[in-house]
Structure 1
């Protein structure tokens, strides 16, 4: 009897342990992209994010396409090529916290400074909120919002977002392609990981969009890394149901159940 109870407890503990297994690294399952986007691990000047994943997502102008800039945003000049990635639809209640980390990286600057952004969209891809834009400044000030850009509606931690320069030249990050390690002018570098947070105003279905675009020309690329996108604490795009246990764990539970059934049959 004692052994049987012990095995029951062990089976329950095994099932609980499997159910509590931590989420895997960001895979961008269900996200849709235009241009160049994907996932990377710690790479050059871009470390892993504070969220704790073993990789992060990114968008970059290297290998981007035309027509992805924000209409009416950017000041004198025009957007050229860039990339956008959009999350799958997620449901949110009024007051739910939308949170994620980002790290803006650029090899451009001066009058040709590129920009990145994050937007909250509805299920039909209409803009609900321009959460922030990131762009360098000649005076070394904050990249959010950067020069000629709208103020963010998301709150940022830390609140100060200056570019971190690389003493050896431009930022080292493979997502910049052949421009990794290059720099056009004042403003090249990266922000480091910054957390953005925004409270949803009304219950509904939404999408999260990340984008980056070259400005005026297509030289000297820029990009943005992102990670830890959650709504109300739930990872966006991650199933809410408990994932199926691993095959070996299922085998172990099956053997325990078989032993108990044979004992009860005697």
Structure 2
């Protein structure tokens, strides 16, 4: 029985749309991308208070905040577990990268706590099993106002532009900070502004990006990290297809082949 060309075309289109739709890499304009995993408090936001959109980013950016964060979140090697009161991490879906591919992203550190026990944030590249491949960038205020690279933290492997950043202003207004928005517990408070980070992948493999922030010692004076414009060699991070999605893609190819054969028989 012949299958109408229009029905075959519609079926093929539907299969390819379903297979490719979530395959678009991180696009914060549509909210949190499928496959990204949050611990604590994470979200997406448009331009909000003092925090503008990222250069080269979209109409929304991603963020993590210590406000509403989870207990036990910390960057390994920084202090002792008891010093980390609460925090949040956001991990991307798995993606494949080739050696020497350039990973690029923008980030902005926003804090209401610049004291001796200041909060901190980081960006890491992780292997598929969750172990660290590279610590890319850190942020933490110093008494003199410096915040990136993070005061008293390991050096990040990414190249930053600008290479050093202070926090600017004393009362950051930003919804993800919750009740601490517009407050400053101890100066210096504020934001670093958007910073560009570039990192050349060291070895071919499967990776995740992790964005994290921690409230140090006590629950007061919250801090957050905004990020956007994430790309690998100039294109968005493409998630590794799930087995079921690969099957759908193969079904679409089969439908198109059947359509071509039907056309040849009808010619």
Q: TM-score range by the shorter chain?
A: 0.7 to 0.9
> Compared with structure 1, are the counterparts of its residues 148 and 76 closer, same or farther at alpha carbon in structure 2 (3 Å cutoff)?
farther
Q: Is the 8 A contact 1:103 1:225 kept in 2?
A: yes
Q: Following superposition of structure 1 onto structure 2, how do residues 103-252 of structure 1 map, counting pairs within 5 Å? A: 103-141=108-146, 143-166=147-170, 170-237=171-238
Q: Is the 8 A contact 1:87 1:207 kept in 2?
A: yes
> Which whole-Å deviations, capped at 9, do the CAs of 1:124-149 have from their partners, x for residues lacking one?
111011111100011123x1223211
Q: Distance in 1 between matches of 2:64 and 2:136?
A: 17
> Which whole-Å deviations, capped at 9, do the CAs of 1:158-213 have from their partners, x for residues lacking one?
222111114xxx20000100000010112210011001110000100000000000
- Listed as ranges, the gaps of 5+ residues in structure 2 are 1-26, 242-267
Q: Following superposition of structure 1 onto structure 2, how do residues 43-54 of structure 1 map, counting pairs within 5 Å? A: 43-54=48-59
> Compared with structure 1, are the counterparts of its residues 127 and 24 closer, same or farther at alpha carbon in structure 2 (3 Å cutoff)?
closer
User: Does residue 40 of the first structure (1) align with residue 45 of the second (2)?
Assistant: yes
Q: Is the 8 A contact 1:77 1:215 kept in 2?
A: no
Q: Which residue of 2 aligns with 1:61?
A: 66
> Compared with structure 1, are the counterparts of its residues 180 and 32 closer, same or farther at alpha carbon in structure 2 (3 Å cutoff)?
same
1:51 Cα offset (Å): 1.6
Q: Runs of at least 4 residues of structure 1 off by over 2 A?
A: 23-28, 74-77, 237-240
> Compared with structure 1, are the counterparts of its residues 239 and 88 closer, same or farther at alpha carbon in structure 2 (3 Å cutoff)?
closer
Q: Distance in 1 between matches of 2:115 and 2:152?
A: 12
Q: Is the 8 A contact 2:57 2:228 kept in 1?
A: no
Q: Distance in 2 between matches of 1:94 and 1:31?
A: 23
Q: Which residue of 2 aligns with 1:244?
A: none
Q: Is the 8 A contact 1:119 1:131 kept in 2?
A: yes
Q: Is the 8 A contact 2:93 2:239 kept in 1?
A: no
Q: Distance in 2 between matches of 1:130 and 1:26?
A: 28
TM-score normalised over the length of structure 2:
0.76
1:52 Cα offset (Å): 3.4
Q: Is the 8 A contact 2:96 2:240 kept in 1?
A: no
Q: Distance in 1 between matches of 2:240 and 2:229?
A: 15
Q: CA RMSD in A?
A: 2.4
Q: Distance in 2 between matches of 1:100 and 1:62?
A: 23
Q: Which residue of 1 aligns with 2:99?
A: 94
> Compared with structure 1, are the counterparts of its residues 74 and 104 closer, same or farther at alpha carbon in structure 2 (3 Å cutoff)?
farther
